[in-house]
Amino acid sequence: MWLSKQQLEDLTKRKTGKAQCRALDYLGIPYRVGLDGKPVVFERDLTAETDPEKRTEPNWDALKN
């Protein structure tokens, strides 16, 4: 799911798509730009684990055959 228009405005404190994109860039929050020029932020990107020590590495051995 993605953030609503109101949630995006609350998060960025900006109303226009271009200004919201600049704010999201500054905050380091990933987004995509929709056809309307407004950013689309997925909820999972706001709740994703950002602590590198808690991230899990892929099982590279599973690729060896």
Answer whether residue 62 is part of any domain. no
Q: Say how many domains are in the chain.
A: 1
Who has greater pLDDT, 64 or 16? Answer: 16
How far apart are the C-alpha atoms of 22 and 19, rounded to whole Å?
Answer: 5
DSSP state of 33: E
**Residue 25 domain-assigned?**
yes
Parent domain of 40: 5-49
Tens digits of residue pLDDT in 3-62: 999 999 999 999 999 999 999 999 999 999 999 999 999 998 888 666 666 666 777 777
Q: Between 64 and 31, where is the model more confident? A: 31
pTM strictly above 0.85: no
Q: How many CB atoms lie within 10 A of CB 8?
A: 21
Q: Is 29 inside any structural domain?
A: yes
Taking CB atoms within 8 Å and a gap of at least 24, the contacts of 39-42 are 39/8, 40/2, 40/3, 41/2, 41/3, 41/8, 41/11, 42/1, 42/2, 42/3
